[in-house]
Structure 1
Amino acid sequence: MLKKIILSCLTTLFFTNYLFALNEPHTVKVLETKNAGAYTYIKVKENKDNYWVAITKSNIKIGQTITIHEQVWMKNFKSKALNKTFDKILFAQIPNKAISGSNNIHNIHGKMIKKKQDNQLKPNPTFNDNLIISNSKPIKTTISNLYTQKEKYKNKNVEIQGDVLQVSNKVMGNTWVKIYNGKDAVKFRSPNEDEKVAIGDKVKVIGTINTNVDYGYGFKYEIIGVNGKFEILN
């Protein structure tokens, strides 16, 4: 469902084989699992995308749906325990298996990553390149309609309601909120990095719909709302 976001660059900065992630949550279905050393390697499906994830050793079962939080992407990562090289793999954490801080990402490469983050990972001035924000009167609609009538709402302001599934504050000066209507979900980006919404809140949001945007490495959005203004209803 998620497909392309209108931003040239985000916090995704390359340092040799490392790509820093956003700590953004992803809900995925487990297709395959392999335990090796201190890790569990899982092949997951998120919408139409399949990719590998490494987490602290956990009891994960095939077919299970879990939420993972990004820590760092690695390219051409070789697992000696599995004798396998992954073209790309996401090191992540799951709830109740939190990994404390950038200097403790699965106890590997921590100091180097922490140093690079401290010295080089700064807000990217091209974060809002090609961002489309409308001043049009909001059209009241539903999340499902955004997908079935995408061209109708493209680059226009909408007003929708839903339940909050995910919240990520302080992401490059924004808050990212995923809302759900019982069938479909969509993400809205608020320019308020301290947006006071929480998982489980029923909200109304007004924002501009941007479509078919991509900033790489799995961050693809068919539809995303930008310049979101939230109101808690319950």
Structure 2
Amino acid sequence: MKRLLMAVALSLSIVPVTAFGFGNMGQPQWNSANPSTAPAAPQSAPQSPAQGADISGRVVQTINSGGYSYVLLKKADGEKVWVAAPELKVNVGEQLTFEGGMEMINFQSSTLKRTFEKVVFSNGIAKGKDGKAKEAKKDQRSPGSMGAAVAVTDEKIKVKKATGKNAYSIAEVFKKKDKLKNKQVVINAKVVKVSSGIMNKNWIHLQDGTGSHMTADNDLVVTSDDIPIVGDLVTVKGKIETNKDFGGGYKYNVIIEKAKITIN
């Protein structure tokens, strides 16, 4: 009996390990006759249906952060799409073509402290057959405050005025600018334009539906360390400054510097 047990043990010891499904010790094998042992298919990240296709559009907004440039493009059909690429210099208004890439859903940027509903990660500006980037020529001159002004649109903006003794509408700020100089104000408004990294500042244009483009009292510019996105409804707190000249053509009759911006 003892000899029989030893023979059985010896026969088991020389059976190839592949019979038990471990032919590759780093990667367990599975028996095709038993599908339940098959490894689960790897889950891939969300992909855009048009992954790989170049993305073209006019630059509406650009933010540099964490070594990336987040560029909001407005395509020919009016659709707006965020594209993230290794940091590069682009200007609002340029017509650009980016290489297609992976579309991420609800992407959280730790450096911007924001969540993008959708963003396409691209390797950068697409190149044509000649090897040159499909990029519009850039005007290296400073556009100044007039060049940075928001274009007139048919959009009807109406934002409810903030409450409290320091609450003002944008038209009221312009009308009472001398009285409000160096005083704190609170303003509810909609973000209509953002330019980041100019003179080491983020420049945010605000409108609330008061004032008029004709009288130049409908668009208030603030600078801030915060970076909202065009379309955000925000509450802005800060000190009114008047007749500020930053050089390079950037002159403002009314401005709020180092504003604190809360997205509503």
TM-score, normalised via structure 2 length = 0.37
TM-score, normalised via structure 1 length = 0.41
Q: Which has the higher strand share?
A: 1
Task: Give 1 or 2 for the bigger CA radius of gyration.
Answer: 2
